[in-house]
Amino acid sequence: MIMFDSWSRLNPGVRSRSINAENPTGAPGQAARAASPLGPGRKGSAFRPLPAGDTLTLAEIDGPGVIRHIWITVPDRTPGGPFVLRDLVLRGYWDGSDLPSVEVPLGDFFCNGFGRCLVTSAPIVVAPTGGMNCYFPMPFRAGARLTLTSEHPADIASVYYQVDYTVGDRLGEDVGYFHARWHRSDADTGLGVDHVILDDVTGPGSYLGTYLALTALQRYWWGEGEVKFYVDDDTDHPTLCSTGLEDYAGGAWAFQDHLGTDPAPQVINFSAPYIGYPHYAGNDDSHASPFVTPMPPSHGLYRWHVPDPVYFDSRLRVTVQQIGAWDHGLFERQDDIASTAYWYQARPATSAPALPDAALRRPR
């Protein structure tokens, strides 16, 4: 379902193209034409503005082809509040569909649900400072359209971006369409209710990865829940599950540097090609203003199934339990969880749940 071409393979008839503000159509021989104070073709159009409430078309491409790399960044300091990366929505449409197959807040798509952090994984890289990169191949047969919509209260002065792609690709029937979807469960989901990462997906297809942005709203360890994959005919019980959330992300023992209480263990962040825990922000209110409510602890982690895809023929449902642990054992939790699911399926999206408004997407 996924197409990772060998670097040495020759592809007669396939051509490389690139879209950015210097060449918004990707047409041959049309890049670097705008003038700057240095003269024509001297970095004259590096970015595009995005007014509040508007949609910026990042790329519109005739197929067949494959989007192979997306790079994008927005200014670190944008007026209107700290949630700019949750207020911007990335959407991808394949083969003329009116429904987006990709619909995710910009930061969450790039494993940055709580703002900037560094990610050095295989398909997603966030480099200093805020350079967001995606290497998931995104094939299309008739056409592709990528957009960025702003629900931020203030104008975005500059969006820098580049979409690298090929055209003329020969796409077999076994090449699927890339999808990504965001979902959030806040503290009102109820005890014992699993967070739904992905549901209502029909196959055939392959599941490629998960990003989780979790705000811990209760004390003690938050990551004892199992990630469960209900494949095809599964009903009450899944075919695949993890043994815990940090285990799913490749870590162990609550991401601590040692087991014990003396000295107190420290949380260790890491970012690797297919697994990572790149974000942790604790609740240190020792110097907080009496007029400021401290933010609860937040955690960001990812798991890419690129070497070990979860294949399904007819349907797939993915969930994670909200379970914690302390000295007296396991307990049900109610945290604020936002997740992004990444997968391929045989057809572009035919249905999609409504994405919540920006105010309902912001972390606690």
pLDDT one-digit tens code per residue, 18-77: 999 999 999 999 988 888 899 988 988 899 999 999 999 999 999 999 999 999 999 877
pLDDT one-digit tens code per residue, 242-277: 999 999 999 999 999 998 889 999 999 999 999 999
**Reported pTM:** 0.95
Q: What is the CATH number of domain 15-361?
A: 2.60.120.1390
Maximal CA-CA distance, the chain: 71
- What gap in Å lies between CA 335 and CA 245, rounded to an integer? 13
- 312, 205 contact by CB (below 8 A): yes
- 99, 172 contact by CB (below 8 A): no
Tokens of 329: 């054992």
Instruction: Return the domain boundaries, the chain.
Output: 15-361
The alpha carbon of residue 164 and the mean position of all alpha carbons in its chain are separated, in whole angstroms, by 18
pLDDT one-digit tens code per residue, 201-226: 998 999 999 999 999 999 999 999 99
- What gap in Å lies between CA 265 and CA 254, rounded to an integer? 10
